[in-house]
Structure 1
């Protein structure tokens, strides 16, 4: 376990070390939910256009996925594992590249980081939409590139180790798969009473 932790720290320092002032601003921006409102609006449009009257159940499924991913990572895993974020780790204090916010303070996130809620939420959304829309939209797999970019931004900003985001991504994908299977079951039962 200690070897894995050391590898995680070394990989974090490598990935966190690729920084420039332009990337600082970009990564801070894409790490925020507001940056992706146009994407969410487009995905909502696709749901309504293709599923019409069933759109409401899909939106409920997406909400359930996000609540699950967020509660599992923030409500269960972070308080249980109590793993400090790199930005709060005293041994890494002078090695971590942190990004200043508009108020002039460095962005550090909360105290604990295992597992990443950003990773869980974005991979949950990407997985659910991939399962839902891949029959009609072959490009939908590109949502995983979006999820990877958002999760990498968390490493870049110094608030998550790679292991944090990998665990979060796994939680998100599993939750989305389970909720999607329940949606398919509901859909089957409603059409075959």
Structure 2
């Protein structure tokens, strides 16, 4: 069964990575960029401030905690334990892939920090403020899926590298930090309503 899943992982990776063109090369590279989304984050903070008023302060502060936890889980727990090569460093596979700007990422890729972080944020919104910000919550899931897809497209992650952190990190992380946020709101902001 494990061999079947590994083979399926490779086939999906090669299919996604193999269907490239110059427009999507640039777009997917941009999607994976560390600073590409800064304007989006700034807009998100402005929307939060407008919709949540003072409740946006603990919400945004907890985002920092959320992202720290998800990033450390992916980079300092999963990757050192599993030592699974990224496809871009996998002997026998690395030469079959298409790379954009010769970007190959670090040595190990299981699990994707990009997927863990973006989906943790999406689930945090879902569990904490989806009724107040339903369109933003849906947009965050679309954004997280796009970022995760870009990692496979670029050949730096297997599909399982981006799926596992959703299940093993993002859902629980988003849920716990959302519960903490709701506890803070109930305890310190309920009299303001």
TM-score under structure 1 length normalisation: 0.91
Ranges in structure 1 where 5+ consecutive residues have no aligned partner: 101-105
State yes or no: 1:168 paired with 2:169: no
Question: Which stretch shifts more, 5-14 or 166-175?
Answer: 166-175
Secondary structure (helix, strand or coil) at the match of 2:41 reads: helix
The separation in 2 between residues aligned to 1:89 and 1:192, in whole angstroms, is: 53
What is residue 157 of structure 1 aligned with on the other side? 154
* Deviation string, structure 1 residues 113-144 (Cα, Å, up to 9, x no partner): 00000001111111222333321233121211
What is residue 133 of structure 1 aligned with on the other side? 129
CA contact (8 A) 1:120 1:173 kept: no
Alignment match of 1:114 (pick from 110, 124, 131): 110
* Deviation string, structure 1 residues 17-72 (Cα, Å, up to 9, x no partner): 11012211111111113221221111101221223223221112111110010000
What is residue 142 of structure 2 aligned with on the other side? 145
What is residue 41 of structure 2 aligned with on the other side? 40
* Deviation string, structure 1 residues 128-186 (Cα, Å, up to 9, x no partner): 22333321233121211111111111001110000000012231232111110111122
CA contact (8 A) 2:89 2:107 kept: yes
- Inter-CA distance 98–53: structure 2 relative to 1 (3 Å threshold): same
Ranges in structure 2 where 5+ consecutive residues have no aligned partner: none
The separation in 2 between residues aligned to 1:159 and 1:29, in whole angstroms, is: 14
Aligned-residue offset at 1:191 = 5.3
CA contact (8 A) 1:118 1:168 kept: no
Aligned-residue offset at 1:192 = 7.0
State yes or no: 1:70 paired with 2:67: no
The separation in 2 between residues aligned to 1:108 and 1:192, in whole angstroms, is: 49
The separation in 1 between residues aligned to 2:133 and 2:48, in whole angstroms, is: 12
- Over aligned residue pairs, what C-alpha RMSD do you find? 1.7
The separation in 2 between residues aligned to 1:10 and 1:70, in whole angstroms, is: 27
Aligned-residue offset at 1:93 = 2.2
